[in-house]
Structure 1
Amino acid sequence: MADTTTIPAEAEALTTGDATQAHTEVDHGAGKHVEPELFYMAPYQWVSIAMLILLLGAILVGKVHKTLGKGLDDRIAAIREELDEAKRLRSEAEQLRDEYATKIANAESDAEAMLESAKAEAEAILTRAEADSKALVERRKRMAQDKISAAEREAVAEVRAKAALAAATASRKLIGENLDAETDRKLADDLIAGI
């Protein structure tokens, strides 16, 4: 059973206003009461250690915060650089696309111009070939006519030569048969008289 008649000294000090008696000893009749300790340290020491840890934590967190902030700022800067690089590459790609689109358009117009030029050149070649073939046909026709005329002249000359030879042979034969010495003399005299 608890002793209710005795008021502890601490409670009495609190009620009477005597602050000098308020320390760790309390008498309950069974012995002295000692304040609780953890690892041989009083509560005020634990509060001091907790405050020290809290202050160190705040300092470290401030530094960590700055480190994290710097890391995030560096990452943001790297991302901005990558975005700027991507924008630059995109603008270069758009310029190349426009340049190649222009080249393709120019190539198509050049191809059309080349096609028109090739058609005109082909028509000119065909016209020239027709004219050349007509000229060649005319030239060959003339050559054939010239060969035919030359062959005719040659044939006529040959016929004339044969006719002259035949006439001369026939004349000789006739003269040889019909001409005697007296006819020969008479013919010579007529010739001389004609001169």
Structure 2
Amino acid sequence: MNSIINISLLSSVFVTLFVIMDPPGTVPVFISLTAGQSRAVRKKAAWQAVLVAFGVIVVFAAFGQQILQHLGITLPALQCAGGLLLLLIALQLLTDTAEDPVQTKNVNIAFVPLGTPLLAGPGAIVATMVFVQRADGKLADVVAISVGIVLIHIVMWLTLRFSGVIMRILGENGVLLVTRIAGLLLSAIAVQLVADAVTDFIQAG
């Protein structure tokens, strides 16, 4: 089984994207943006938002490496920049300083701000690109990354689809607790990315 899929990488991709995209943390935002809408409209917005996020992540996973090569950006540089960006997001989760998305008139909220940048934001995009760069075309790693991306979007869809139920179960304090834990885990991942990048810079120099 390990020759077909890298289980360790799969778990890393899933956990990293989970703490970045923060499914429980999107629940109150989703509910506030779809307040007053019918159940059918909320259901449609849920799958549309996840589909948009999935499309954005896949595009950057598939073509992000070519973009980096064209710009002359190395993997250690991407890792360091990604680590700093993720650390900023983690601090926002820990200190509750992240700005809530604002609904714009005549714009489908499933696309903006739910699909992007709430779900497929800079942090998720950079993290995905770093994983793809590390895989370096290995089949087991590519399969692991693909499965991880699909799984996190399934979880995200289920979270948005049943956001009302989740909100009632967790309550505001429960959502806040999960968000804080996600921020702590994300900060550790960010520091590790920066540390790995510095090590690569030293070895290359």
Q: How does the TM-score come out when normalised to structure 1? A: 0.17
Q: How does the TM-score come out when normalised to structure 2? A: 0.16
In our comparison, the structure showing a higher alpha carbon Rg is 1
Q: Which has the higher contact order (CA 8 A, sep 6+)?
A: 2
